[in-house]
Amino acid sequence: MEYHLQTPLKIEDIKKLNAGDIVYISGEILTARDEAHARILEMKEKGEELPFSLTGAVIYHCGPLMQKTGNGEKEEWKVVSAGPTTSGRMSKMTPPLLKAHEVRAIIGKGGMKGVSDALKNRCVYLAYTGGCAALAAELIKEVKTVHWLDLGMPEAVWVLRVQEFGPLIVGIDAKGKDIFAEVREKAEKVYEGMQK
């Protein structure tokens, strides 16, 4: 099945998705990788409020390459290249993040380990083709704003407006089905068979 979704995402939007479905997303998405995840969790712990909302949000595991145009008050950012980063690095921080905030979709590449329980009934993992950064940049229509630039360009939280962002493959659905885990299990079985 193919779905075209609009952000902010509602719980019904994602519950109907099955692992293997193709999804395109339009609206706002936020980039976050290692450092941003760590800071989001830290702020939760301290009871501080985030400068952005994660309710119904789509988090994109991406450390984009951006270019500043204009200067002074008129400075603007342009996306040069913005493909997905390896989601595996965020595996440990994702369950507490999902507990603290109503994030409805995570976009990344390579899958994540041990998160399908945390995703159940609340969030989906969408795989975007790794390295396809020029293609992604085409689908990002506007850089709305940036938070936490002190973390550096790749680690900052970029708020982006996207249109028909995809094709995204549902890698882990909200029922707990995980394509990456299944592929891995199969590969391990093939490997065991080779040892006989």
Segment holding 179, helix H or strand E: helix 179-194
Give the catalytic positions in this structure.
37
Q: Which of these segments, 3-11, 44-52, 99-107, 146-154, binds other proteins (CB under 8 A)?
A: 146-154
Which residues in 48-87 contact other proteins (CB under 8 A)?
62-65, 67, 80-83, 85-86
32 contacts other proteins (rule: CB under 8 A): no
Min dist. Cβ of residue 42 to other proteins (A): 16
137 binds other proteins (CB under 8 A): yes
152 binds other proteins (CB under 8 A): yes
129 near other proteins, rule: CB under 8 A? yes
154 binds other proteins (CB under 8 A): yes
For residues 99 and 189, which CB has a smaller minimum distance to other proteins in the complex?
Answer: 189
Residue 43 CB coordination number (10 Å)? 14
Return all residues near 98 (Cβ < 8 A) that are at least 6 apart: 118, 119, 122, 123
**How far, in Å, CA of 36 to CA of 53, rounded?**
14
Considering the complex, state which of residue 45 and residue 182 has its C-beta at the smaller distance from other proteins.
Answer: 182
91 part of the interface to other proteins, by CB under 8 A? no
Q: How far is the CB of 110 from other proteins (least distance, A)?
A: 4
Element (H, E) at 68: strand 65-69
Q: Long-range pairs for 116-123 at CB < 8 Å and ≥24 separation?
A: 116/172, 116/176, 116/177, 116/178, 116/181, 117/176, 118/94, 119/172, 119/173, 119/174, 119/176, 120/174, 120/175, 120/176, 121/11, 121/15, 121/174, 122/11, 122/98, 122/174, 123/14, 123/98, 123/174
CB nearer to other proteins: pick between 20 and 51: 20
- Residues in contact with other proteins by CB under 8 A are 20, 22, 62-65, 67, 80-83, 85-86, 88, 109-111, 127, 129-138, 152-154, 167, 169, 171, 179-180, 182-184, 186-188, 190-191, 194-195
